[in-house]
Amino acid sequence: MASSKSKQSLLLPHFLLFPVMAQGHQIPMAELAKLLSQSGVKTTLITTPQNATRIQSLLSQSPLTQIIQLPFPSHQQHLLQNCENFDSLPSLHLLPQFLTATSFLYSEIEHLFPQLSPKPCCIVSDMALPWTIQIAHKFNVPRLVFYSLSAFYLLFMATLRATDFGEKIMAASDYELISIPNFPDSIQVTKSQLVFTLDPVFLEWGNQMAKADRASYGFIMNSFNGLEPKYLEEFKKTIGSDKVWCIGPVSLCNKDTKDKAKRGNKAAIDEQECMKWLDKQESESVIYAALGSICNVIAPQIIELGLALEASNKPFIWVIRQTKSTKKEVENWLAESEFEQRIKDRGLVIRGWAPQVLILSHPAVGGFVTHCGWNSTIEGISMGVPMVTWPLFSDQTFNEKLIVEVLRIGVSVGVEKCLRWGVEEEIGVQVKKEAIRGAIEKVMSGEGEEMRKRVRELAAIAKATMEEGGSSHLNLKRLIEEIMHQADSQQSQN
């Protein structure tokens, strides 16, 4: 009997999770851990001390989840000791060194893995940590890749690797429109929009990720079947695998106000104060403006956004990310122009982290000025809020095209050139106050009613997909069953 119980304990589901140290990656991975825990799966999440403090409250009600903290090996790439997250880097051009530094965690994890009980039956790795495939191979467990990206963008990247499209784009002029081959819809891009994506350093890291992905067992996506079905199917065809599980929107695992407020970093505003302010506003009257946790917009461009929000004559919440390079200039402008005094009756300025899902879920919010990061995009969709799109870099350009051209639930501010990390000043101010204001008016006026109707329909599908019997709920259940079947087969062979 003891032997039987011992064998049974070894087969308990145990998933080992590796998020990359960035808010836009770490939060959805933690929410995946929460969903797994709710499904009776033990999860161990590996991160660093500073990052652990950001997700502990999110996982506080998940008894089957443990967080193991490992020191971040910043010295390996001559990074400052307190640089443990993308948003703590003095400049985003240091990101390649940061990602390389993460690979030095390998030896720590190699020592840790045999001590975990029960033995993990799989590794769930962020796509940006290709070295975790070595851990999977060493300990003979399947590696699952976690994508907090759209199928739309993933299909583009797969197309870029499989065709000569990259060469065609590079031979074009900066603003020449080129059609993407093999896409379900007619989508055009320009070289200026792909400056970041086609950067040699980014492409090389992307090649490493793709190599690890090809050696992996399957893919978990923070998306849902009803959002971009054509692109999901084409992506599966392109990679030659149907082992793709859409289990999102993962943010919907947070049901009540406290859960929504506890996501990520400590909020720079008390959630009760924020809710009281929103409660005073009319339904769908408020614009929420936030350009992401690693926003690299220069100070004069930030100021243009503030002026546009003021000129919109709508109530608004404006989240300003504080960085060393912009803080002084923006704060001086706020003080000298008496901006907050001028807008005090209809505006709320938040410096730092905001409880975004909590804000977007409030019925007073009627529009979302967003950088089109995938988390923000799917959070806006799942809350039924139409968007004003302002992509900055990487996949954000493609998310804008999905929002504006395919789903038709948003309006672009008209950004023509992707930002490059470390040289943002060279581009300067891309979008003037008038263009931002014009896009806001289109979304918030009667002209935006059809967009509002469409995004509400998507929100209803998103909520249903996460409920019992919904596609994401079933996909998660099937994923767990398949991984457990693999573990059982391996155990019987041993």
Work out how many domains the chain is built from and give that number.
Answer: 2
The verdict on residue 140 lying in a domain is: yes
Are residue 158 and residue 289 in the same domain, yes or no? no
Q: In whole angstroms, what is the distance from residue 483 CA to residue 494 CA? A: 17
Query: What CATH number corresponds to the domain at position 439?
Result: 3.40.50.2000
3-state class of 491 per DSSP? helix
The verdict on residue 428 lying in a domain is: yes
The verdict on residue 15 lying in a domain is: yes
259 is annotated as an active-site residue: no
Q: In whole angstroms, what is the distance from residue 298 CA to residue 330 CA? A: 9
All residues at 6 or more sequence positions from 180 whose CB lies less than 8 Å from its CB, including other chains: 156, 159, 165, 187, 188, 189
Are residue 244 and residue 367 in the same domain, yes or no? no
Are residue 307 and residue 447 in the same domain, yes or no? yes
Q: In whole angstroms, what is the distance from residue 473 CA to residue 167 CA? A: 41
Mean pLDDT of 36-42: 95
| Tens-place pLDDT, residues 291-321 | 987 777 889 999 999 999 999 999 999 999 8
Mean pLDDT of 365-383: 97
Mean pLDDT of 244-270: 82
Band the pLDDT of 92: cuts 50, 70, 90.
confident
Are residue 431 and residue 478 in the same domain, yes or no? no
Catalytic annotation, pick one of 14, 87, 126, 395: 126
Are residue 423 and residue 478 in the same domain, yes or no? no
> Both tokens of residue 411?
């309006």
Percentage above 70 pLDDT, the chain: 95
Which of 78, 134, 66 is CA-nearest to residue 106?
134
The verdict on residue 177 lying in a domain is: no
Which of 58, 127, 47 is CA-nearest to residue 84?
47
Work out the number of other CB atoms within 10 angstroms of the CB of residue 323: 20
Count CA atoms within 13 Å of residue 277 on its CB side: 21
Are residue 131 and residue 215 in the same domain, yes or no? yes
| Tens-place pLDDT, residues 408-442 | 999 999 998 887 766 667 777 889 999 999 999 99
Catalytic annotation, pick one of 14, 25, 362, 371: 25
Which of 69, 59, 53, 68 is CA-nearest to residue 37?
59
Are residue 111 and residue 162 in the same domain, yes or no? yes
371 is annotated as an active-site residue: no
The pLDDT of residue 5: 41
Cis preceding linkage at 184, omega within 30: no
Are residue 116 and residue 94 in the same domain, yes or no? yes
| Tens-place pLDDT, residues 64-76 | 999 999 999 887 8
Are residue 73 and residue 98 in the same domain, yes or no? yes
Band the pLDDT of 197: cuts 50, 70, 90.
confident
Q: In whole angstroms, what is the distance from residue 47 CA to residue 70 CA? A: 6
> Both tokens of residue 103?
């690979």
The verdict on residue 420 lying in a domain is: yes
Are residue 410 and residue 384 in the same domain, yes or no? yes
Greater confidence (211 vs 294) lies with 211
Instruction: Report yes or no on whether pTM surpasses 0.75.
Output: yes
Look up the domain containing 141 and give its range: 2-166+197-252+468-493
The verdict on residue 185 lying in a domain is: no
Residue 194 DSSP label: G
The verdict on residue 422 lying in a domain is: yes
| Tens-place pLDDT, residues 95-138 | 888 888 999 999 999 999 999 999 999 999 999 999 999 999 99
Are residue 335 and residue 201 in the same domain, yes or no? no
Are residue 387 and residue 478 in the same domain, yes or no? no
Greater confidence (255 vs 28) lies with 28
| Tens-place pLDDT, residues 153-174 | 999 999 998 899 989 999 999 9
Res. 474: pLDDT tops 50: yes
The verdict on residue 191 lying in a domain is: no
Return the residue matching tokens 């000025």: 369
